[in-house]
């Protein structure tokens, strides 16, 4: 059974477009996250939600808007995509300290 | 600001050749230090959490240790399937449990 799932796995789009990435976890965790991993493999937190409430917003441009319809889902919507948004985006969940990561979404902006 | 530095950036070993990966960290107060394994095209997979200096954790050929300034991931008699990027991360007591600061990882390649 998949613990943390993301769709799509790959996303190729033009500059200026709007796109969404979906994430679901079936672990019963209260906290979910979005991370961005750049080309140098540096993994940086973007957002954290606890029970559908935003806890962390790490100086991310407001073109990025997370939405948590319920405790098991945390989606990421990105407006007006820019070249610098190209990266791998990981969703994760936790019940305490250890994170459980999804498989990632590779976003390429042309 | 919390910082994590991992070394070496890349490490190539022969099968059976033991070695260690280093993670140096700077935090105002350590809540926990984490090791993850990341395979190409996949998300990081949790390995260990260490909470206090002197603590050790083991899993198969991997052993993680912690001091007040660094952590080591010792790999004993590695096999090719241990090839992956190993990520270290810290959680600061003063920033809440939601925030993890990651290092850039050590890419390990084990040749048969």
Chain B residue with minimum CA distance to A5: B43
- Residues lower than pLDDT 50 in chain B: none
What pLDDT is recorded for position A100? Answer: 92
Chain B residue with minimum CA distance to A57: B99
Minimum distance, in Å, between the CA of residue B85 and any CA atom of chain A: 9
What pLDDT is recorded for position A18? Answer: 97
- State how far the Cα of B62 lies from the Cα of B47, in Å rounded to an integer: 9
Cβ of A97 and B34 within 8 Å? yes
Q: Residue A71's CB: how many other CB atoms inside 10 A?
A: 17
Q: What is the CA radius of gyration of chain B?
A: 14
Q: What is the pLDDT of residues A8-60, one digit of tens each?
A: 999 999 999 999 999 999 999 999 999 999 888 889 999 888 887 887 777 78
- State how far the Cα of B95 lies from the Cα of B73, in Å rounded to an integer: 25
A88: nearest Cα among A42, A49, A23? A42
What pLDDT is recorded for position B97? Answer: 64
pLDDT beyond 80 at A97: no
Structure tokens at B4: 């994590």
What pLDDT is recorded for position B92? Answer: 87
What pLDDT is recorded for position A7? Answer: 96
Residue in A42, A99, A103 nearest the CB of B100: A99
Chain A residue with minimum CA distance to B35: A98
Minimum distance, in Å, between the CA of residue A39 and any CA atom of chain B: 10
Task: Report the DSSP beta bridge partners of residue B76.
Answer: none
What pLDDT is recorded for position A55? Answer: 79
Cβ of B46 and A102 within 8 Å? no
How far, in Å, are B14, B56, B76, B109 from residue B39 at the CA level?
Answer: 19, 24, 19, 11
Residue in B36, B96, B104 nearest the CB of A40: B104
Q: What is the pLDDT of residues A59-93, one digit of tens each?
A: 788 999 999 999 999 999 999 999 999 999 999 99
On chain B, the residues whose CB falls within 8 A of the CB of A42 are 102, 104
Q: What is the DSSP string of A21-76?
A: EEEEE-S--SEEEEEEE-TT--EEEEEEEETTEEEEE-S--TTEEEEEEETTEEEE
């Amino acid at each position: 059974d998949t613990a943390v799932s993301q769709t799509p796995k790959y996303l190729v789009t033009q500059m200026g477009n709007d796109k969404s990435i979906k994430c679901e976890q079936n672990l019963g965790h209260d906290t979910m996250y979005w991370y961005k991993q750049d080309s140098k493999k540096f993994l940086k937190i973007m957002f954290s939600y606890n029970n559908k409430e935003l806890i962390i917003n790490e100086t991310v441009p407001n073109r990025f808007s997370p939405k948590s319809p319920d405790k098991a889902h945390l989606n990421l919507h990105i407006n007006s995509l820019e070249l610098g948004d190209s990266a791998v985006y990981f969703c994760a969940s936790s019940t305490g300290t250890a994170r459980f990561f999804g498989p990632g979404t590779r976003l390429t902006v042309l | 600001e919390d910082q994590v530095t991992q070394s070496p950036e890349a490490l190539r070993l022969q099968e059976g050749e033991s070695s260690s990966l280093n993670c140096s960290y700077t935090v105002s107060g350590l809540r926990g230090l984490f090791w993850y394994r990341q395979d190409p095209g996949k998300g990081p997979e949790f390995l260990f959490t260490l909470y206090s200096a002197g603590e050790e954790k083991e899993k198969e050929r991997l052993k993680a240790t912690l001091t007040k300034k660094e952590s080591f991931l010792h790999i004993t008699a590695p096999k090719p399937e241990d090839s992956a990027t190993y990520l270290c991360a810290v959680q600061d007591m003063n920033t809440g449990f939601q925030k993890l600061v990651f290092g850039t990882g050590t890419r390990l390649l084990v040749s048969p």
